[in-house]
Amino acid sequence: MIITIKGNADQKQINNLLSWVDSMGLKTNLSVGEHSTIIGLVGDTTKVDIDLIRSLEIVEDVKRIQEPFKKANRKFHPEDTIVDVAGHKFGGGFFPVIAGPCSVESYDQVLYIAKEVKKSGATILRGGAFKPRTSPYAFQGLGEEGLDILVNVKKETGMPIVTELMSEDKIPLFKDVDIIQIGARNMQNFDLLKAVGRTDKPIVLKRGLSATMEEWLMSAEYVMSEGNSQVILCERGIRTYEHYTRNTLDLSAIPLLHEKTHLPIIVDPSHASGISRLVKPMSLAAVGSGCDGLMIEVHNDPPRALSDGAQSLRPDQFDDVMTVVKKLLPMVDKKLS
Amino acid sequence: MIITIKGNADQKQINNLLSWVDSMGLKTNLSVGEHSTIIGLVGDTTKVDIDLIRSLEIVEDVKRIQEPFKKANRKFHPEDTIVDVAGHKFGGGFFPVIAGPCSVESYDQVLYIAKEVKKSGATILRGGAFKPRTSPYAFQGLGEEGLDILVNVKKETGMPIVTELMSEDKIPLFKDVDIIQIGARNMQNFDLLKAVGRTDKPIVLKRGLSATMEEWLMSAEYVMSEGNSQVILCERGIRTYEHYTRNTLDLSAIPLLHEKTHLPIIVDPSHASGISRLVKPMSLAAVGSGCDGLMIEVHNDPPRALSDGAQSLRPDQFDDVMTVVKKLLPMVDKKLS
Amino acid sequence: MIITIKGNADQKQINNLLSWVDSMGLKTNLSVGEHSTIIGLVGDTTKVDIDLIRSLEIVEDVKRIQEPFKKANRKFHPEDTIVDVAGHKFGGGFFPVIAGPCSVESYDQVLYIAKEVKKSGATILRGGAFKPRTSPYAFQGLGEEGLDILVNVKKETGMPIVTELMSEDKIPLFKDVDIIQIGARNMQNFDLLKAVGRTDKPIVLKRGLSATMEEWLMSAEYVMSEGNSQVILCERGIRTYEHYTRNTLDLSAIPLLHEKTHLPIIVDPSHASGISRLVKPMSLAAVGSGCDGLMIEVHNDPPRALSDGAQSLRPDQFDDVMTVVKKLLPMVDKKLS
Amino acid sequence: MIITIKGNADQKQINNLLSWVDSMGLKTNLSVGEHSTIIGLVGDTTKVDIDLIRSLEIVEDVKRIQEPFKKANRKFHPEDTIVDVAGHKFGGGFFPVIAGPCSVESYDQVLYIAKEVKKSGATILRGGAFKPRTSPYAFQGLGEEGLDILVNVKKETGMPIVTELMSEDKIPLFKDVDIIQIGARNMQNFDLLKAVGRTDKPIVLKRGLSATMEEWLMSAEYVMSEGNSQVILCERGIRTYEHYTRNTLDLSAIPLLHEKTHLPIIVDPSHASGISRLVKPMSLAAVGSGCDGLMIEVHNDPPRALSDGAQSLRPDQFDDVMTVVKKLLPMVDKKLS
């Protein structure tokens, strides 16, 4: 951490700051210039409150040099984390594809889609039982009944399941769920992050609507700091000023995050654009960017879907995407899992 | 709602869409052009899934004409909602000032600050007991002990209190709290919104870090749809690309929201910039914009604060702000409450 | 165009608006609802000033249904535009790669790089002679001398050249340049757009730092409205709140623009992230997204480059990128040109 | 400038970097930690290419400590710059109000508006002769004829005039113009900035649509580095994801820029929202924020305006704004000029 002190600062105040820093067990490194003095903090600065330092009258600016995340940091864990879900691996060159309907509507619907996507190469089934909706008047998901449907389809097809959790008190209902998804709107619901950090299930952590990569990794850190290190990051588009697409899929985040963290990173191309015609090109682009898997919405009959129909593919369209994905994977040194 | 149909659309598919719309009890209005056909939907379209319509192959675009919020909509409730908290009113020309420390640290600290800000004209006391922090390693607040301190200071000073709720299971602890605050990161924690919608307490609903005004009003609608109409909106800065300030205080939201909704809107100038020197000018700017109150962080000794020290004023600085605020209020037809 | 009239609007004012619209040769379509009246405008609304209508007291909102661009609109020109540069084609399945140094430094430097990138499969040479720099104290390019170097290397290697034009008065100097580049910062320098619209040279039009796709297409429209229809759009990253990368490469723009316009769209992955390690994955991602070409910075000795070194590849790294690009192209039905 | 070196960096490469920095006349300050080495650069780093350093394989990150602007920097010029335009002063506690139509339409129109706004307290007349429009099909201004009208109204009323310049070759036409305005879209048209930097006229430099404060100050630096130090910054709203307003007026920029620079800063509340009903509250908010003047669009008959009608006030509405502005100014220690 680098603290820039104003040129007119009082020496006594500087000394106070130095002893305060010292009291936290950090070493300092002073460099006096003409218009400002610079203090470098050496040691573990993750607990230092950068805003507090910035508040001091004598401080002009503070910049963090060390990343504030530790358990998620590749610097301290150089090897890829591989998350294994019933034999399907995320990370380390493995590339699973998660597919399924946005919302669970009926057993027949989910079973039909599960069988179709499995034929095309998907290995994990997704489906929403609890749905976060912007409007209180929109369909909120089948809830517990939806979970039962997913579990029954899992039994029938052998596909592990992933579904979204929206509040801590529902965790007991998720005992047969294989991967818990934390949605974008809850990425900084810290109580929920801590709660899933105390489970032993892999977590798909979606990026918040306007979360920086650093905030996203700090949310992963919340889960990991409670003991659960099986976090799979999921890029799903960020909010920008553009309005032709619903969100802007940030694929440059993929190679950059691979440098910053050892956690696997998958891409959900369905939500980013909000337009099903864009799912295929964005899936191929995601493979090119080096991601560790895809999560794609598939629906038997998109127009009748109760939510997010616009972004769902039909099974035949999904099969078409998978055909090209399978050809591309070897060229980026990845294999389906 | 206006649906634009592609020029080459099949008449049968158009008819299917028309009957589907009809089945929802909405009237349609068709206008056939050279390159596209336009369908206008007349009636209550709040329950229509705009994404679902956009997904249809024949649809080029859909635009909502009617706002998707109803209970929060001024169109249907032209009169200002006035929220009364122990005699202090928000809305309708009344202007209360909420002040207090970012984090509750001790009884003495809170009592001292409460007495000071009361002298300067603040009527409601704020203080954080449960603190949402980006890092799991940062101080997370005193929790229940912090709530007790606030309640004791309330008894001593007579000032009603507002503090943040982060999860539904803590609601029973808030029985002596006068106003429940929902923080920016939980603005779309829909389960929490519904839960506080079932209480009888006024809610301060902070704007999400990158929430549109419409999403914000939809979150107010979540609370209101459960029966609680005492919602106070709180602008606290939005995320932009600018990095000299932490957030960009969006004051143009104030007069615009006053047109869209009957709910009172207050401004928190402390969090937007993250810099205490900006609190005074932004407080005066907020008054100029026509807001219905202010929420300001005040600390007895900012540098030692355990969180957000940078944005807190000392009591003497707060008094200086209040001196000017009091002079400005009559010029914008507002009075302290 | 759809105009929503306020519920309490005066009928006389509505009639005034209707006759004004009529005077522009547009037909109207009226739909009277309970809380608002909706007027649909039928005909060519590209010249209608949407802001002017919004200003009327009786108007609640106006939405454009028709896109405001015509010459660039695929609706009116369904076939792909193919821009031919000395036999190398952009669009229609062809995929040229443009490569070269960010800044022209010397004849030897440019010649060396040109030969290297040609060997790897690049067919068009790029290089900056006039450099737009944020700081007046940074190197501004060799100017006219740089142009001469490029032209000489073109003669030596046979590679057509593309370079940036920053002001109209320099156009005569560009007579031997094959493609004129308009940089992101000048995307809305309308006088410059009109000026290059009067030349007969292909234009690479970079997307502005925070330009919407619609504004970008309107800038293409400026060039085309002056008679020059050889416009190549170039996505180069947009400004977002993220700070780990310099810009966010918006690859979802590629398939979306392919629907909206018949113009070819290439991608510059070098500038988006500002980090050379990201150029390879983002190049592959761009191919996956379906773009019509790449523009990549290559430098013989990146650290000594006088500008943008961080984002340049060495020739061997560029060759590595091209090896994979060549394998991917057939899978997305494209061929090098 | 602080350079963070990767933990596994080669000592020889570090030495190369140190000697390169040394060759630029800068001193270095080395601090070796467990996971990284930090190099502090001491001296004038404004000419150091931060991107070039970031490109080095051994470099993990670089952060600028010193601001890259010098002439605009308050650190080196603590006193407010006061720009005097025919006796009306910007900065140092003076507060002129600029008013006039968005577009010049006719002599009678401009004269009428000029007389009206002068009565209400405006001292400088604005009006667009050359208009930057997103669409090539929209009205582009009266051009030279518009300039003549402005100059004639200036003669008649004695009000100095400000109008926008869009290209260098038009500068000779601006000889009777008192203040040259550089519009938001040309804020980084560096050739134009240098050109006006060689004139002796005050420059109103509007903030770019998504310019950071630092980029904006660097553009001021471009003008100043050519010898013209009479730069007036004009905040006019920035681009965000919000779509209820056209732009988001960034008033927190005002007090922050007052710390960073000695240049005067005015606010244009007309363009930010794009809605005339918001001009009054945002003007009052701007006064509260501490700005050094206002620029407001006024039109005799808003709905018939040829451009930006939506954001223009009628003279009686402008008078109403001025009535309150005049009352507020003494409370923020400003006086009309």
Which of residues 156 through 175 in chain C touch D, CB cutoff 8 A?
A: 166-169
Please indicate if any CB of chain B lies within 8 Å of the CB of A198: no
Question: How far is Cα B253 from Cα B214, in angstroms, rounded to an integer?
Answer: 11
Q: Provide CB contacts within 8 A for C19, sequence distance 6+.
A: none
pLDDT given for residue B302 in this prediction: 57
Terminal alpha carbon distance of chain C: 41
Q: Name the helix (H) or strand (E) containing B191.
A: helix B190-197
Of B209, B308, B312, the CB nearest to A210: B209
Average the pLDDT over B45-52 and give the result. 77
Q: Provide CB contacts within 8 A for D134, sequence distance 6+.
A: C68, C188, C215, C218
Set of chain C residues whose Cβ sits within 8 Å of the Cβ of A275: 256
- Answer whether CATH 2.40.160.10 is correct for domain A83-336: no
Question: How far is Cα C254 from Cα C325, in angstroms, rounded to an integer?
Answer: 17
For every residue of C59-72, DSSP letters joined together read EEEEE--S-S-STT
Please, what sign has the CA dihedral across residues B193, B195, B198, B200? negative
Mean pLDDT estimate for chain A: 91
- Beta-bridge partner residues of B282: none
The answer to whether A160 and A109 have CB atoms below 8 angstroms apart is no
**Binding partners of A (≥3 Cβ pairs within 8 A):** B, C, D
- Beta-bridge partner residues of C163: C180
Average the pLDDT over B198-223 and give the result. 97
Backbone phi and psi for residue A71, each to the nearest 5 degrees, phi listed first: -65, -30
- Model confidence at C303, pLDDT cuts 50, 70, 90, reads low
Q: How close A119 gets to chain B, by Cα (Å)?
A: 25
Average the pLDDT over A5-34 and give the result. 81
Question: Token pair for residue D159?
Answer: 């009000």
The answer to whether C249 and C289 have CB atoms below 8 angstroms apart is no
- Model confidence at B305, pLDDT cuts 50, 70, 90, reads low
Q: How many residues does chain D have?
A: 337
Backbone phi and psi for residue D276, each to the nearest 5 degrees, phi listed first: -65, -30
Q: Which residue, B132, A251, A3, B111, is CA-closest to C252?
A: A251
Set of chain C residues whose Cβ sits within 8 Å of the Cβ of D168: 167, 169
Set of chain D residues whose Cβ sits within 8 Å of the Cβ of B324: 331-332
Q: Which residue in chain D is spatially nearest to B210 when comparing CA positions? A: D241
Q: Provide CB contacts within 8 A for A299, sequence distance 6+.
A: A101, A102, A113, A305, A309, A312, A313, A314
- Model confidence at B24, pLDDT cuts 50, 70, 90, reads confident
Set of chain C residues whose Cβ sits within 8 Å of the Cβ of B3: none
Question: How far is Cα B287 from Cα B308, in angstroms, rounded to an integer?
Answer: 23
Residue A88 has pLDDT above 90, yes or no: yes
Cα→Cα distances C236→A149, C210, C296, Å: 45, 11, 11
**In the B/C pair of chains, how many CB contacts fall below 8 A?**
49
Question: How far is Cα C152 from Cα C26, in angstroms, rounded to an integer?
Answer: 55
Question: Token pair for residue C102?
Answer: 């960010």
Question: How far is Cα C223 from Cα D263, in angstroms, rounded to an integer?
Answer: 37
Please indicate if any CB of chain B lies within 8 Å of the CB of A148: no
The answer to whether C313 and C79 have CB atoms below 8 angstroms apart is no
- Residue showing tokens 């300050």: D29
pLDDT given for residue D291 in this prediction: 98
Mean pLDDT estimate for chain B: 91
Q: Which residue in chain B is spatially nearest to C35 when comparing CA positions? A: B75
Q: Which residue, C266, C279, C267, is CA-closest to C309?
A: C279
Question: Which of C12-16, C103-107, C326-330, D119-123 has the weakest average pLDDT?
Answer: C12-16
Set of chain B residues whose Cβ sits within 8 Å of the Cβ of C2: 2, 38, 40, 63, 65
pLDDT given for residue A6 in this prediction: 82
The pLDDT tens digits for B53-105 are: 877 778 888 888 788 899 999 988 999 999 999 999 999 999 999 999 999 99
Average the pLDDT over B186-190 and give the result. 96
Cα C288 to the chain's mean position, in Å? 19
Q: Name the helix (H) or strand (E) containing C39.
A: strand C36-42
Best of D260, D289, D324 to disrupt the B interface by mutation (most B CBs within 10 Å)? Answer: D289
Q: How close B324 gets to chain D, by Cα (Å)?
A: 7
Return the domain boundaries, chain A. Answer: 2-63, 83-336
C176-197 residues labelled b (16+ CB within 10 A) or e (exposed): ebbbbbbbbbbbbbbbbbbbbb
pLDDT given for residue A41 in this prediction: 84
Question: How far is Cα D90 from Cα C269, in angstroms, rounded to an integer?
Answer: 44
Question: Which of A137-146, A286-295, D80-89 has the weakest average pLDDT?
Answer: A137-146
- Model confidence at A269, pLDDT cuts 50, 70, 90, reads very high
- The SS3 assignment for B238 reads strand
Of C277, C290, C328, the CB nearest to A281: C290
Q: Which residues of chain D have pLDDT under 70?
A: 34, 302-310
Set of chain C residues whose Cβ sits within 8 Å of the Cβ of D274: 51, 54
Residue B216 has pLDDT above 70, yes or no: yes
Type of residue numbered D138: A
Of B273, B283, B288, the CB nearest to D284: B288
Please indicate if any CB of chain C lies within 8 Å of the CB of B7: yes
Q: Which residue, A71, A88, A87, A98, is CA-closest to A286?
A: A98
Set of chain C residues whose Cβ sits within 8 Å of the Cβ of A272: 252
Please indicate if any CB of chain C lies within 8 Å of the CB of D15: no
Question: How far is Cα C271 from Cα C283, in angstroms, rounded to an integer?
Answer: 12
Can you state the angle between helices C253-260 and C279-289, rounded to 10 degrees? Answer: 30
Of A212, A245, A285, the CB nearest to C285: A285
- Residue showing tokens 């749905």: A131
The answer to whether D140 and D133 have CB atoms below 8 angstroms apart is yes
User: Cβ–Cβ of D52/C188 closer than 8 Å?
Assistant: no
User: Cβ–Cβ of B310/A54 closer than 8 Å?
Assistant: yes
Q: How close B236 gets to chain C, by Cα (Å)?
A: 17
- Beta-bridge partner residues of B188: none
Q: Which residue, B129, B71, B126, is CA-closest to B96?
A: B126
pLDDT given for residue B39 in this prediction: 86
Question: Token pair for residue A126?
Answer: 């997704």
Of D212, D252, D324, the CB nearest to B282: D252
Cα C300 to the chain's mean position, in Å? 27
Cα B102 to the chain's mean position, in Å? 18
Question: How far is Cα A280 from Cα A322, in angstroms, rounded to an integer?
Answer: 9
The answer to whether B291 and B235 have CB atoms below 8 angstroms apart is yes
**What is the model's pTM?**
0.93
Please indicate if any CB of chain D lies within 8 Å of the CB of A2: yes
- Model confidence at C307, pLDDT cuts 50, 70, 90, reads low
Question: How far is Cα A301 from Cα A321, in angstroms, rounded to an integer?
Answer: 17
Of D55, D135, D209, the CB nearest to C309: D55
Question: How far is Cα C234 from Cα C204, in angstroms, rounded to an integer?
Answer: 6
Classify domain D2-63 by CATH architecture. Answer: 2-Layer Sandwich (3.30)
Please, what sign has the CA dihedral across residues B328, B330, B332, B334? positive
Please indicate if any CB of chain B lies within 8 Å of the CB of C65: yes
Q: Which residue in chain B is spatially nearest to C27 when comparing CA positions? A: B33
Any alpha helices (H) in chain C, and if so which ranges? 11-23, 50-55, 107-120, 144-157, 190-197, 213-225, 253-260, 269-273, 279-289, 315-328
Of C256, C259, C278, the CB nearest to A256: C278
Can you state the angle between helices D107-120 and D144-157, rounded to 10 degrees? Answer: 40
The pLDDT tens digits for C314-327 are: 899 999 999 999 99
Q: Name the helix (H) or strand (E) containing B322.
A: helix B315-328
Q: Which residue, D275, D302, D135, is CA-closest to C61?
A: D275
Q: Which residue has the higher pLDDT, B293 or A2?
A: B293
> CA neighbours within 13 Å on the CB side: how many for C62?
22
pLDDT given for residue A308 in this prediction: 55
User: Cβ–Cβ of D167/C166 closer than 8 Å?
Assistant: no
Please, what sign has the CA dihedral across residues D2, D3, D5, D11? negative
> Could you say which DSSP state residue B205 is in?
E
pLDDT given for residue C75 in this prediction: 87
pLDDT given for residue D307 in this prediction: 53
Residue C331 has pLDDT above 70, yes or no: yes
Question: Which of A52-56, A261-265, B3-7, D260-264 has the weakest average pLDDT?
Answer: A52-56
User: Cβ–Cβ of A133/B190 closer than 8 Å?
Assistant: yes
Torsion of CA A37, A42, A45, A51, to 10 degrees: 0
The pLDDT tens digits for A21-41 are: 888 888 887 777 767 788 888
The answer to whether A334 and A293 have CB atoms below 8 angstroms apart is no
Q: Which residue, D149, D86, D88, is CA-closest to D122?
A: D88
pLDDT given for residue A65 in this prediction: 77
- Model confidence at A83, pLDDT cuts 50, 70, 90, reads very high
* Pairing, β A83-85 against β A88-90: antiparallel
Total Cβ atoms within 10 A of residue A155: 10
Set of chain B residues whose Cβ sits within 8 Å of the Cβ of C214: none
User: Cβ–Cβ of A282/C251 closer than 8 Å?
Assistant: yes
pLDDT given for residue B215 in this prediction: 96
Question: Token pair for residue D217?
Answer: 């100050």
Backbone phi and psi for residue C94, each to the nearest 5 degrees, phi listed first: -85, 150
Cα→Cα distances B135→A1, A218, A260, B163, D319, Å: 16, 6, 17, 20, 51
Question: How far is Cα A199 from Cα A201, in angstroms, rounded to an integer?
Answer: 6
Q: Provide CB contacts within 8 A for C111, sequence distance 6+.
A: C153, C156, C157
**Binding partners of C (≥3 Cβ pairs within 8 A):** A, B, D
Question: How far is Cα D180 from Cα D165, in angstroms, rounded to an integer?
Answer: 6
